[in-house]
Chain A
Amino acid sequence: MNRIPILILAFAVLTGLCYFFQNTPTIVTEGLYPVVRATNGTFAFSPDSIEINLREKAATERIAVFAYDAEQRQVVIVKPVLGGKTVRIKRGDLADYCVSLEKDMVKGFEVFREVAGLRKGIDFFQLLVEAKAACRLYGVQDCLYPFCTRCMDVCPVIKSKVIEMKIDKNGAFYPAIHLAGCPRSGKCFAVCTVGAILSMRKAETEKIPTRPPE
């Protein structure tokens, strides 16, 4: 008896079953223009800790704090926001990841992993102190680019460069949205879990400061 047709049939039935039972999340959108949150903070340096006071309430419970090192890499730590507005960096806090840049373009990125005896983590407190002393850029940002590119992944017209990732004068990554080409699909702010992109309605009702349109 030829078993090949039976095997093919069994494979087809299995694939169909898998497809039928597959769970795929849907994106529910509002269909409005997106705006980009402007996040800023003031840094207070003391011998053992650095306190960052955010000007506005943070979008989420955690925020990315960055500082540029001597090799012009953006080194980032994701820290919890205390009381919605304060972030504290202590001595010994190890950086999470870094982004290598070349003329404001991303060259590469890597997650830091401490390996005993092989690789030591980067003390972010020390890096911030050095960045301040050497007049290098440091600050806070919402966007986790280049790790997160969800807004660009879901944008239906991304080929027209409606969303571009830029670095502002403070050294922070932000999504620059060209409203002229935006089809108002609303997908970018529906998937942005860090709160960097939000709907115009939310920004107006909650009086959230936003960046000027591109």
Chain B
Amino acid sequence: MSRIFFYINVGFTCGAIAFLGIFPLNALITGYPWAITCYNCNICRLACPVGIDPHGFISAALTNNPDHYIAVSRLRLGLAQVESLDPEMSISLRSVKMKAREAVAEGFPGETEVTVVAMKAKQVAKYCFLCANCTRQCPISLPIKDIAEDLSRNGGFR
């Protein structure tokens, strides 16, 4: 093998290791080092009675980003409330997916009930009932509820 390929190989391997190393480092910084052990089996997604995807909280902890968008399926809120929280939030109104600001621009009244499709982790945490059913259903018992509790109390990670 040519020497140049050797250097490219080593360089990219080191780059990949450094990139993947960001996740455990972020997990340590946020205070949830166990988040790296989640293998995304999606059982928690089927456990939430209000349709929040709890794996999104783990992703937020892994990326140290409380503004990470989480998939939500059955969270119903008023349009005015949604727009004041985040105009860029994805919502479903009469089975049509759109941004909150687009719905307001179309002239829907503020009290119209909408279903949230994607919401920032720190905002979803405020609407999570913290029932811990995701934690109970998790095959490796990861305390996912703790991340939601932290985000709902402090609006971010430490």
Q: Using CB atoms and an 8 Å cutoff, list the residues of chain A in contact with chain B.
A: 17-18, 21-25, 61-62, 76, 78-80, 82, 88, 90, 94, 96-97, 111, 113, 144, 147-150, 153, 191, 193-194
The reply to whether B131 and A79 form a contact with Cβ atoms under 8 Å apart is no
Complex contacts, B78 vs chain A, CB 8 Å: 80, 82
Expressed in whole angstroms, the minimum distance between the Cβ of A175 and any Cβ of chain B is 13
Instruction: Among B113, B129, B133, point to the contact of A193 (Cβ < 8 A).
Output: B129
Total A-B pairs, Cβ < 8 A? 80
Q: Which of chain B's residues 103-129 have a Cβ closer than 8 Å to chain A?
A: 111, 113, 127, 129
Instruction: Among A62, A78, A80, A147, point to the contact of B133 (Cβ < 8 A).
Output: A147
The reply to whether B77 and A111 form a contact with Cβ atoms under 8 Å apart is no
Q: A18-B33, A147-B133 are in contact. Are A111 and B49 (CB under 8 A)?
A: yes
B87 at the interface (CB under 8 A from A): no
The reply to whether B50 and A78 form a contact with Cβ atoms under 8 Å apart is yes
Instruction: Among B33, B49, B76, B149, point to the contact of A21 (Cβ < 8 A).
Output: B33
Q: A78-B76, A96-B74, A193-B130 are in contact. List 10 more A-B contacts (CB 8 A).
A: A18-B33, A23-B150, A25-B146, A25-B149, A62-B50, A78-B50, A94-B74, A147-B133, A150-B130, A193-B131
Q: A78-B74, A80-B76, A111-B48 are in contact. Are A22 and B129 (CB under 8 A)?
A: no
Interface size on B, residues (CB 8 A): 33
Instruction: Among B133, B150, B153, point to the contact of A148 (Cβ < 8 A).
Output: B133
Instruction: Among A23, A191, A193, point to the contact of B31 (Cβ < 8 A).
Output: A23
How far apart are the CA atoms of A24 and B149 in the complex, in Å? 10
Of the candidates B78, B127, B131, B153, the one having the most CB atoms from chain A within 10 angstroms of its own CB is B131
Complex contacts, A153 vs chain B, CB 8 Å: 132
Complex contacts, A76 vs chain B, CB 8 Å: 49
The reply to whether B111 and A82 form a contact with Cβ atoms under 8 Å apart is yes
Q: A111-B49, A147-B133, A148-B133 are in contact. Are A88 and B34 (CB under 8 A)?
A: no
Complex contacts, A113 vs chain B, CB 8 Å: 46, 73
Q: A82-B111, A97-B49, A111-B47 are in contact. Are A148 and B28 (CB under 8 A)?
A: no
Expressed in whole angstroms, the minimum distance between the Cβ of B151 and any Cβ of chain A is 11
